[in-house]
Amino acid sequence: MARVLTPRAEDFPRWYQDLISKAQLADNGPVRGTMVIRPTAYAIWERMQADMDARIKAAGAENAYFPLFIPESYLKREAEHVEGFSPELAVVTHGGGKQLAEPVVVRPTSETVIGEFMAKWVDSYRDLPLLLNQWANVVRWEMRPRIFLRTSEFLWQEGHTAHATEADAKAYTLKIHHEVYERHMRDLLAIPVVLGRKTNRERFAGATSTYTLEAMMGDGKALQMGTSHELGQNFAKAFDVAYSSQAGTREHAWTTSWGTSTRMLGGLIMCHGDDNGMRVPPALAPIQALVTVVKETDGSITSAARTLVEDLVAAGVRAKLDDRVDTPFGRRAVDAELKGYPIRVEVGPRDLAEGRVVLVRRIDGSKTPLQLGEAVGAVTAALEADQKALYDEALARREANTVEVSTLDEALEAAGTGWARVPWSAVGVDGEALANERAITVRCLFRADGSVPASQDEPDLTAILARSY
């Protein structure tokens, strides 16, 4: 079969670009750094959204929508925040044919505008916690854009909450981190993630604590899949989000924010993709089983394939018929591999004459002849097995490419090709700066029991060092 994609081992970034183009996932937009998300990728994003949204609602947050445009002055109210985001802002200076009195920024994130409204809505301790989430587009001007990973505009959910106490804010941030984000990534995306704390250097602009979920990609680099932030009282003071306590005193709230984005699509591609294309985990896949008519004779092949699709749908499988027999079978097979449908069922005249179809699993390319009557059971069993197998494979790769070391030098060496686990005390703030010079970052810090520390100054922390996207 002709080579469709540049092999990963030859040039991983090129493979990624090839795949995005050939599988018709996305295109570059006309304005630098923007992207067009095509239906194949958008359908996956919609399923990510549905699952994440349900988990966020189960955690008690409600969806709302805040404006795209934020007065420039709002960002300036939180000093670290404006410093962090200023270089990335898109600024609207003209509206309705006139120059605006005050320039307006296109939201890079919404802490400031939401802070303004939290201040209006919160009055008493009875109004807390206030748990909000929004699905929106945000804009951060990117110098080195890459589709899904770094784009000037991207889609995300951003949660924003206000709490009466620091302890409550911390508990909610960690609840989102563990119960919403980690489970979404583990159970739906089949991506193992390491949870930890960002160093002060890598912390979100305006946060007191940033927690991250890091995944290993097919080339051994790290991708930050999502982050949650404790914002302390920084934004609450900047926007006067205050409440009357039960004791009658006036107190500032403690706020949090947390987000995941279309970047997860990039993570999905780079975690599970192989040299033939995407491999979409069955639980996530918009199309789980493609039933392909190999070729048609008298209409009976398509008819049998259609019945199989109906039987699969009745069994709860997201199945689709491919009866485009005018297109060569080989080309359709290549396209199905590129798009990563977990299962193909090939229905052809010769096999069907003997009551058989062929089950093709995307995870390993294996082809299994089956009696037609066994097909539904075999498909559902394969979908369940392959969801688990994709996770296990990603975890095994991460373990194989993570080296436990004890010095900074060894860590920098190991981070050239994979991840280094190293005592944070062996790295420290100076070691972190040195690593950064070599394009290696401290991805996160965690305790010996895997839990996230309250500060980077805790003793006995472990650091992951790696190159990253």
Q: Radius of gyration (Cα) for the chain, nearest Å?
A: 25
Q: Pick the stretch among 40-48, 193-201, 203-211, 244-252 that binds a second copy (CB under 8 A).
A: 40-48
Binding segment (CB under 8 A) for a second copy, from list 37-45, 213-221, 348-356, 449-457: 37-45
Determine the 3-state secondary structure of 151 from DSSP: coil
Instruction: Give the pairing type, strands 153-163 and 254-261.
Output: antiparallel
- Which strand (E) or helix (H) includes residue 362? none
Q: In this chain, which stretch among 28-36, 76-84, 221-229, 233-241 interacts with a second copy, using CB under 8 A?
A: 28-36
> In Å, how far are 7, 91, 273, 372 from 226, measured between CA atoms?
28, 26, 20, 43
Nearest distance from C-beta of residue 160 to a second copy, angstroms: 12
User: What is the spatial distance between Cα 281 and Cα 188, in angstroms, rounded to a whole number?
Assistant: 7
- Per CB under 8 A, the list member of 89, 164, 205, 283 interacting with a second copy is 89
Does residue 93 interact with a second copy by CB under 8 A? yes
CB 100 within 8 A of CB 240: no
Residue 50 beta carbon to a second copy: minimum distance, rounded to whole angstroms: 10
Structure tokens at 331: 């080309």
Tell how strand 130-139 and strand 62-63 pair up: parallel
Compute the residue count for the chain: 469
441 has which bridge partners?
A: 466
Binding flags for a second copy, 147-186, as an x/- string (CB under 8 A): -----xx-x-------------------------------
Please classify residue 395 by burial: count the beta carbons closer than 10 Å to its beta carbon, then call 0-12 exposed, 13-18 middle and 19+ buried.
Answer: middle
> Residue 404 corresponds to which tokens in the numbers above?
């436990």
Longest dimension (CA), the chain: 82
Examine residue 48 and tell whether it contacts a second copy (CB under 8 A).
Answer: no
Task: Give whichever of 129 and 220 is closer to a second copy, judged by the CB atom.
Answer: 129
Q: Is 284 in the site for a second copy (CB under 8 A)?
A: no
Minimal distance, residue 434 CB to a second copy, in Å: 28
* Minimum CB–partner distance for residue 294 and a second copy (Å): 20
Q: Considering the rule CB under 8 A, would residue 328 count as an interface residue with a second copy? A: no
Q: Which residues contact 185 (CB under 8 A, 6 or more apart)?
A: 191, 192, 193, 213, 215, 225, 226, 264
| Number of shown-chain residues binding a second copy (CB under 8 A) | 54
74: contact with a second copy by CB under 8 A: yes
Q: Is 30 in the site for a second copy (CB under 8 A)?
A: yes
Q: Please tell me whether residue 458 binds a second copy under the rule CB under 8 A.
A: no
329 binds a second copy (CB under 8 A): no
Of 207, 201, 74, 88, nearest to 138 by C-alpha is 88
CB of 9 to a second copy, least distance (A): 31
- The tokens describing 230, both together, are 């404790």
Stretch that binds a second copy, among 70-78, 206-214, 263-271, 302-310 (CB under 8 A): 70-78
What string of DSSP letters covers 203-262? Answer: S-TT-SEEEEEEEE-TTS-EEEEEEEEE-TTHHHHHHT-EEE-TTS-EEE-EEEEEEEET
Of 140-148, 188-196, 276-284, 394-402, the segment contacting a second copy by CB under 8 A is 140-148
Query: Is 60 among the residues that bind a second copy (CB under 8 A)?
Result: no
Q: Which of 141, 303, 325, 349 binds a second copy (CB under 8 A)?
A: 141
Question: For 181, which DSSP code?
Answer: I
Q: Using CB under 8 A, which of 20, 52, 136, 217 touches a second copy?
A: 136
Packing angle of the helix pair 375-400, 300-314 (nearest 10 deg): 70
What CA–CA distance (Å, rounded) separates 458 from 421? 17
Q: Taking CB under 8 A as the rule, does residue 27 contact a second copy? A: yes
Among 6, 86, 200, 401, binds a second copy (CB under 8 A): 86
389 binds a second copy (CB under 8 A): no
The single residue listed with the structure tokens 């947050």 is 61
Q: Which of 12, 15, 117, 258 binds a second copy (CB under 8 A)?
A: 117
- Residue (91 or 353) nearer to a second copy, CB: 91
Interface residue list for a second copy (CB under 8 A): 27, 29-31, 34-39, 42-43, 45-46, 62-71, 74, 86-97, 103-104, 106, 113, 116-117, 120, 132, 136-137, 139, 141-143, 152-153, 155
